[in-house]
Structure 1
Amino acid sequence: MLAVTAHDHVPAGPVAVLANPTAGRGRHRGLLPRVLDRLADAGRPVRLLEATGPAEAEAACHAAVAEGAGALVAVGGDGTVHRAVQAVAGTAVPFGPVPAGTGNDFAVDTGFPADPLDAVEVIAGALRAGRSRPVDLARMAGVDGADRWYGAVLAAGFDAIVNERANRMRWPRGPRRYDLAILVELARLRPRRYRLTLDGVTHELDAVLVAVGNAASYGGGMRICPDADPTDGLLDVVVGGRFDRLTLMRVKPHIYQGTHVTHPLVRTFRARTVEVDAAGITTYVDGERALELPVRISAVPAALRLLR
């Protein structure tokens, strides 16, 4: 896994840094000055990007790359990484994730230390050595032509439905809103009819969970696609079939170890392109609200260069 060839060239130019001060519910609030100092020790100018929200953050990353940034570093969780990746995917500008969020799945699954300062040391070392390593990304496209890159997992089942419910709720605040959304959607749980087209072969099936992984984990360490390898040029598809409420609650804890795939109602597939369609579902990628179904997802080998 991840035994991929290093590439000894990092473009000239400053290191642009995107930081989310609210990541991880603020528990790393004092981290940023130390991150900036350690990156500066790598001998490159460091430029902190200014943004007040997700859309601004993404625009700031695109602008930094267009203006000649030699590298991009994201300090935050999977949502912050997701915004930054949109700007560097498919370019020669390498990327470093500093895991400082509630969920840091992409950083950990691609070999970075879980401790943010340890991860910065890896990134700074790669900058000093001029080293980067290729990793795959997934690219999703909707029927309206909109597209997004993602590094970890696309959710298109119960977890996406819960996220959508939680995002619409105004009460309660904080994590309890998500817990309440789970209870509401569990009460309404029913399998939905999906059409999955994998490398041109179509499957019609009823399911409660559908995930398409470039990497293994989502939701802060849930190994939903446990065999996904972000360097193999393929997407892993995991489908949880006609679960009732009790079965879903029994299976859910096993997702943290990735052992849910042995359940008789779970099916796994692997493909280069995956089309997913079902009525009334908005997908979530890397924990962020994305496109409504139907979507087409393609594995893009070596689409991102990582500073490691």
Structure 2
Amino acid sequence: MHAVTADDYSAPADGPIAVLANPDAGRGVHRGLLPEVLDRLAAGGRPLQVLKAQTRTQAEAACHEAVAEGAAALVAVGGDGTVHLALQALAGTRTPFGAVPIGTGNDFAVETGSPVDPLAAVDAIAAALRQGRTRPLDLARITGPDGGSRWYGGVLAAGFDAIVNERANRMRWPRGPRRYDLAVLVELARLRPRHYTLRLDGVTHEVEAVLVAVGNCPSYGGGMLICPDADPTDGLLDVVVGGRYSRRTLVRELPKIYEGAHVDHPLARTYEARTVEIAGAEITTYADGERCLPLPITITAHPAALHLLLP
């Protein structure tokens, strides 16, 4: 994480801290922490508003309503999926944001400087609230040809990883992480490079590729450095393309992603751009680990679109 400059903010005089909590994040391992998380957030000196929702759609709508009604801050207690829902309401506003990492994947929180320990993260958020301090961070906006859009903070996947996620989500058996493992095996057996048209700040690249990722932050999937040089404060998106990998090459390269060493492979290419257009057939993208828009899409970097609560 690169250093960013703190700035002051003016929260509404009597606005509450809105809390979007997903107690099932991380398979419920930290479920028992929620009461203490709320107690420590209250130490920031403002009343709390725990958002009520039964579905992801309701949770996202509750975030929009809280921001529109003047919440002093919005805090997501969960993993990257919970953060993703909150970002849809926060992007481009001055409402401060805090992330308490209790999910299976906490890439956005960790990459943007949050303490890994959930209670330490809460204490940092409460301190920032007391001090009235935030740090500006970039976000990325995905737009489809019909005008539909989504925001994301971490990484967008548009290659093998997105295809595996899509298959895993269609499978009803087995349950748990074994479903994802099985999806990997199925898609490895079907592996083939796909044709993509990339336009990076207006420059066209025709590529045959297995991996295509666009990062605002470096990692996804719980610490996989797919875009190792991505910096959420530089106003740019990092694009990583893994070319015509064979099945054997991909299996060999996948473990290297945890160290970011996969970009050194001769078939890998890396780019930076403010605007990234991706066209390709039959691929639905995933961003922050969440199902997003099908190709073709346009992704645009938005500098300082989020104000993160860190002292």
- CA distance in 2: counterparts of 1:182 and 1:4, whole angstroms: 37
Q: Are the equivalent residues in 2 in contact too, given 1:10–1:131 (CA < 8 A)?
A: no
- CA distance in 1: counterparts of 2:90 and 2:135, whole angstroms: 14
- CA distance in 1: counterparts of 2:8 and 2:210, whole angstroms: 45
Query: Pairwise CA RMSD of aligned residues?
Result: 0.7
Number of the residue aligned with 2:4: 4
| Letter paired with 2:205 | H
- CA distance in 2: counterparts of 1:68 and 1:8, whole angstroms: 17
Number of the residue aligned with 1:252: 254
| Letter paired with 2:146 | D
TM-score by length of 2: 0.98
1:284 pairs, out of 283, 286, 295, with 286
Alignment of 1:137-286 (within 5 A): 137-286=139-288
Alpha-carbon distance, 1:170 to partner: 0.8
- CA distance in 1: counterparts of 2:80 and 2:89, whole angstroms: 15
Superposition misfits of 4+ residues, deviation over 4 angstroms: none
Number of the residue aligned with 2:127: 125
- 1:136 aligns to 2:165 (yes or no): no
- CA distance in 1: counterparts of 2:207 and 2:200, whole angstroms: 13
- Give the gaps of 5 or more residues in structure 1: none
| Letter paired with 2:76 | A
TM-score by length of 1: 0.99
Number of the residue aligned with 1:108: 110
- CA distance in 2: counterparts of 1:261 and 1:233, whole angstroms: 21
Q: Are the equivalent residues in 2 in contact too, given 1:10–1:93 (CA < 8 A)?
A: no
1:191-226 C-alpha deviation (Å, 9 max, x unpaired): 000000000000001000000000000011000000
Alpha-carbon distance, 1:42 to partner: 1.1
Number of the residue aligned with 2:297: 295
| Letter paired with 2:70 | G
Alpha-carbon distance, 1:144 to partner: 1.1
- Secondary structure of the 1:132 match is strand
| Letter paired with 2:6 | A
1:37 pairs, out of 33, 36, 39, with 39
Alpha-carbon distance, 1:3 to partner: 2.2
- CA distance in 2: counterparts of 1:70 and 1:48, whole angstroms: 13
Alpha-carbon distance, 1:8 to partner: 1.6
Q: Are the equivalent residues in 2 in contact too, given 1:78–1:286 (CA < 8 A)?
A: yes
- CA distance in 2: counterparts of 1:170 and 1:198, whole angstroms: 38
- CA distance in 1: counterparts of 2:174 and 2:264, whole angstroms: 36
Number of the residue aligned with 2:21: 19
Identity of aligned residues (%): 74
| Letter paired with 1:180 | L
- Give the gaps of 5 or more residues in structure 2: none
